[in-house]
Amino acid sequence: MRLAGLLHLAATDKKRFDNLRRHEQLPFHGGPENESARKNWRFTIRDAFALRMTLDLIGGEGDGESKLGGVPPSYAHKVIFNALSHARLRYETLGDLVAHRVFLGGVIFQSRHEGDHGRRFSRWFAGPAEELGNWIAETGREDNANPVRVLLVDAGRAALYVIEAARELGINDNAEGEKV
């Protein structure tokens, strides 16, 4: 699909897309630098899904004091890229993400090992919210670390939005079967 389709499926605009592309903050290759070559660039439903989740993680909805914060774009696209790689080990299609109400993202842990000086590292999560607490506890035990931050997006919600938008535009009537 062309850029207009991607923007519709991801519920964003060209200005925001161009800003993320210019700063290399997209969770996929954003196409050639040359504007005329970029007009023929094709995007996938998978690209739209990754962009929608990146935007969800960035946040920024609302105005003034009610503006909702999120993760900086310089880090958000990395979280989504890595978490999607992890999610593909467990879930095959966008429809699977919807059916299992999957959240994905990363958890930052801090080591409790002597001599590590509080080294921090990330682990990637993909699964239903009900599994998160046990997963954090188990990962903390295995890595002898404490959780510091949790960075998650509702991948099932984002997948459903993209699936419905693809049907609405007539891009793909079976978008739930698209690979994660």
Helix (H) or strand (E) holding 111: strand 102-111
Residue whose entry in the numeric block shows the structure tokens 């991607």: 6
Q: Average pLDDT in the 147-153 region?
A: 97
Which tens digits make up the pLDDT trace of 90-116?
999 999 999 999 999 999 999 998 887
pLDDT at 156: 97
Helices 45-58 & 14-22 angle (0-180, nearest 10): 90
More confident residue, 33 or 133: 133
Tens digits of residue pLDDT in 123-132: 999 999 999 9
Other CB atoms closer than 10 Å to residue 36's CB: what's the count? 7
List of long-range contacts for 146-150, beta carbons under 8 Å, 24+ apart: 146/109, 146/110, 146/112, 147/107, 147/108, 147/109, 148/108, 148/109, 148/110, 148/120, 149/107, 149/108, 150/105, 150/107, 150/108
Q: What is the pLDDT of residue 62?
A: 79
Residue-level pLDDT at 145: 96
pLDDT of residue 63: 81
pLDDT above 90 for 39: no
